[in-house]
Structure 1
Amino acid sequence: MRKTLGLLLFSVLLSIQASAQTFTLEKLNGFNKLTMDEFKKEMKELQFQFYDRTEGLGFFLTEYDSPDYTSKIGKFEYKEEKSEDRIEFEFKNKKEYDQYLKLMLAAGYKETEKGKIITKEPYVDYYRNKEHVRLILPKTGESFPYTIIVFK
């Protein structure tokens, strides 16, 4: 049974990784541990293209487009509250969203809260121990983007 579960998780990881420029949860979480300079270097190595840099009240956001423009990844870095740092990965495919959800549930993440973000997209929060992941669906009537946020 344990081997079967391991094989299933490995298969899901492979299928997610095989999708165009998609990252595993572990990889997304790893991006949180990088400095902004290390993150930029990693994106360049992955052939992601710079998209935008935003400075807001107390934070910096640096975003990159995937080489095929089917996904976007951003790193939020907060000046004061480093625990708010996060990675935001945006993609267009419902199948990918479903794969992330299956993988998270199989890995022991539990749904804790539902709501709508400020721009009205519905979200669901998941926790495993102190790890926090938020899945965001497209606005009602729209088919994308799907977003996964991995908090630090």
Structure 2
Amino acid sequence: MRKTLGLLLFSVLLSIQISAQTFTLEQLKGFNKLTMDGFKKEMKQLKFKFYDRTEGLSFVVIEYDSPDYTSKIGKFEYTEEKSEDRIEFEFKDKKEYNQYLKLILADQYKETEKGKIITKEPYVDYYRNKEHIRLILPKTGESSPYTIIVFK
């Protein structure tokens, strides 16, 4: 009985570990370099599930849910202003936010601007040379989502 319970607990912990999907900064930057078709193939390989496709006058965004539905990733492509192309990764954990912040600062990115996006969530921009990353916190009083945006 005790062996079975231990094995069951180990299996549950392993499945939680495997299902939680976090990307490195390099992976997020790499997704920006992919074509939209390449991005779709990569998400399919990672077992992400199609969430939505939105098309505006000057952009297309395709979003995917993680296998455990705890995070979402989207690729934006703009027809006219390619510098606006980006990857947005949305997640629920403050600990993960702090890890991204630590990595950004360790990679010599400098904080350049703070503000609020149109939907009132606070953001902080970081630059290193021409590379731009934005971290977005949840609205005041809310615990999630957190977002990292890596611009092309």
Structures share fold, TM-score greater than 0.5: yes
CA distance in 2 between partners of 1:105 and 1:95 (Å):
16
> How many residues get paired?
136
- Once the two structures are TM-superposed, the CA of residue 18 in structure 1 deviates from its matched residue by 7.8
Distance (Å, rounded) in 1 between the aligned partners of 2:105 and 2:88: 19
* Residue deviations 1:25-72 (CA, integer Å, cap 9, x gap): 010000000000000000000000000000112000000000000000
CA displacement at 1:19 relative to structure 2: 8.5
2:76·2:87 contact (CA, 8 Å) conserved in 1? Answer: yes
Which AA in structure 1 matches 2:92?
K
Q: Quote the sequence identity (%).
A: 86
Aligned match of 1:77: 77
User: Which runs of 5 or more residues in structure 1 are unaligned?
Assistant: 1-16
1:27 maps to which residue? Answer: 27
1:112 and 2:112 correspond: yes
- For structure 2, the 5+ residue unaligned runs are 1-16
Aligned pairs (5 A) from 1:27-106: 27-106=27-106
Deviation of the 1:81 alpha carbon: 1.5
SS of structure 2 residue aligned to 1:103: helix
> Where in structure 1 do 4 or more consecutive aligned residues deviate above 3 Å?
none
Note the C-alpha offset of 1:79.
Answer: 1.0
Partner amino acid for 1:145?
P
Deviation for aligned residue 1:110: 0.5
Give the root-mean-square deviation of aligned CA atoms.
1.4
Give the 3-state SS of the residue equivalent to 2:28 in structure 1: helix
Residues 131 and 18 of structure 1: CA distance in aligned 2, closer, same or farther (over 3 Å) = farther
Contact persistence 2:122–2:137 (CA under 8 A): yes
- Counterpart of 1:132 in structure 2 is 132
Letter in 2 for 1:87: I
